Copies of this chain bind each other. A is one copy, B any other.
Amino acid sequence: MRYSNLFGKTLREAPREEVSVNAQLLIKAGFIDKLMAGSFTLLPLGYRVKEKIEQIVREEMDATGANELLMPLLHPKEVWNETGRWETAKEVMYQFEKNKKEYALSFTHEEIVLDLIRKKVSGYKDLPVKIYHFSTKFRDEPRAKSGILRGREFLMKDLYSAHTSSEDLDKYYWQVADAYLRIYEKMNLKARIVEASGGVFTDSHTHEFQVLSDQGEDMIFYCEKCDFSQNKEVATVKVGDKCPKCGGVVKESRSIEVGNIFKFGTVYSEKMNVMFTDKDGTRKFPYFASYGIGITRLIGTLVELFHDDKGIVWPKAVAPYNVHLISIQDNEKGDKLYEELLAEGIEVLYDDREIGPGQKFNDADLVGIPVRLVVSPKTGDKIEYKERTSDKTELLSLEEVLKRLK
C-alpha cells in the first residue's frame, strides 16, 4: 500500500478528550476514528490488524473442530424472554420496538445459538456442536472512556458448544482454554487464566483470561511462581497470603480481561427446552458453554502493552504490514524496491509522499510496523534496515533484507 493512497493518515496531535493510551495512539496513528463515545471506525490500518488477529483466532478455533458461521445481530424479544434475560440484561441491552415488534441488539448470542441448536439437534449423534462467529456486539456501557478496550459497539469472536455429558463439555472447555492461551502467546501477550464471577451470564464461577496492565479495569490476585489467579470479585486470598496452590506469595495487579469462558451446564438448555435423545432413548438436556474473545479489545490491549514514547510497537504477528518502506528525495529506488518486496509476498506500507524525511521517520515510529526500510541517495545500492524495537540501523543488500524478513 502506498501511503499516499492510504485513507487515514497520522495526525499531528492526539485528540485531547481521549484519556486512554490506546485511543490516543490508535487515533493519532490513523488506525481508528471515533464516531461517538464507545464507537469507532476501523480505518484501513486498524482493519488490517483486526484481520490478522481474527485469522490467528480462526486457525485455533478450527483446530478444535469448531465450525465458523454468522448469526444475526437483530433479535426478536421472544427468544430473549425464554431465559429471562430480556429483563435481567435490560441495562446493557439495546431494546426497541418498530411496527409493533420488539427487538434487541446482540449483546451476546447464547439464546440465539440455543434456538438454532433446538432446530438442528435431535439425537446424540448430532452432538457435540461447536460453532463460532466473528460478529458485532452492542452493550450500553455507562462509562466508555477506555478507548477500544470498552465499546458500546465492538467485535467479538464467540464460540458455543453443546455436549451430551458434563465430562465431554469439561474436556472441550479446557481444550478451548488451551487454544486461547496459544492465541495470546502468538501475539506476545502473557495471559493468565483467572477464576471470576459470571456477571449477567451465570451465577457460577467462570474463567477469564487476564493480562497484567496498569490500564486494566480489573484487579486480580495472582501468584508469581505458579498460574494461580483470582479476580478480586471472587477472591478467597489477599495480598501477602501464601498461594494455596504452590505456597508462593500472592500479589495484586490491575489487569485487562482479554477473554472469558463460561460453563453453563444444562441451565440454559432447560430454560429454553433444548433436548436431545441419548443412546438409551431417553430425552436429555445438552451441556452448554460459551467462549468469548473481544477482537477490538485485543487491538486496544496490544497498544496498551506495546508502545513507547514515539508510538505503537506492534508484535509481528498482528502488525498491519511486515515492512514500512521509506523513500527519501526521489521515489525511483523506492518504487523499484516496493515492487520487488511485493513480488516476494511481503506486505509493505510504502511512504512515497513528497515530504521531509523527519516526518516520515516520525510517522513510521508512530505507526509501529516491526521493520523500517529506507532507500535514499546515501544508501547506494543497499537498503537501510531498522527494527522498531531497536535503535540500530544496518545497510543490507536486498537478499539480506529478504532473509531477515522470512
Contact = CB atoms under 8 A, between A and B. Distances in A.
Interface of A: 5-9, 33, 35-36, 39-44, 46-47, 50, 65, 67-76, 79, 94-99, 103, 105, 112, 115-116, 119-120, 129-131, 136, 138, 140, 142, 152-153
A17 to B, nearest CB: 14
B94 A33 contact: no
Contacts of A6: 67
Nearest to A140: B98
Given A73-B153, A94-B98, A95-B96, 18 more contacts: A7-B130, A8-B69, A8-B120, A33-B120, A35-B75, A35-B76, A35-B112, A35-B115, A41-B69, A41-B116, A44-B69, A47-B68, A47-B69, A47-B70, A73-B73, A95-B98, A96-B96, A98-B140
A36 B74 CA distance: 9
A103 B94 contact: yes
By Cβ-Cβ distance, the 5 closest A-B pairs, closest first, are A96-B96, A44-B67, A42-B70, A7-B67, A39-B72
Contacts of A44: 67-69, 131
26 contacts: A5-B65, A5-B67, A7-B67, A33-B119, A33-B120, A35-B75, A35-B112, A35-B116, A39-B72, A41-B71, A41-B112, A42-B70, A43-B69, A44-B67, A44-B69, A46-B69, A73-B136, A73-B138, A73-B153, A74-B152, A74-B153, A94-B96, A94-B103, A95-B96, A96-B97, A105-B105
Nearest to A155: B70
Contacts of A79: 35
Contacts of A8: 67, 69, 120
A386 to B, nearest CB: 27
A259 to B, nearest CB: 21
A75 B138 CA distance: 12
A97 B36 CA distance: 15
Contacts of A98: 94-95, 140
Contact of A41 (B7, B70, B76, B152): B70
A164 B72 CA distance: 39
Contacts of A97: 96
A36 B80 CA distance: 13
Contacts of A138: 73-74
Contact of A7 (B103, B129, B136): B129
A262 B9 CA distance: 27
A319 to B, nearest CB: 17
A110 B9 CA distance: 21
A341 B264 CA distance: 39
Contacts of A7: 67, 69, 120, 129-131
Contacts of A42: 69-70
Given A35-B75, A98-B140, A136-B136, A50 B65 contact: no
User: Which of A96, A97, A112, A129 has the most B CB atoms < 10 Å from its CB?
Assistant: A96
A285 to B, nearest CB: 19
Given A42-B69, A67-B44, A36 B76 contact: yes
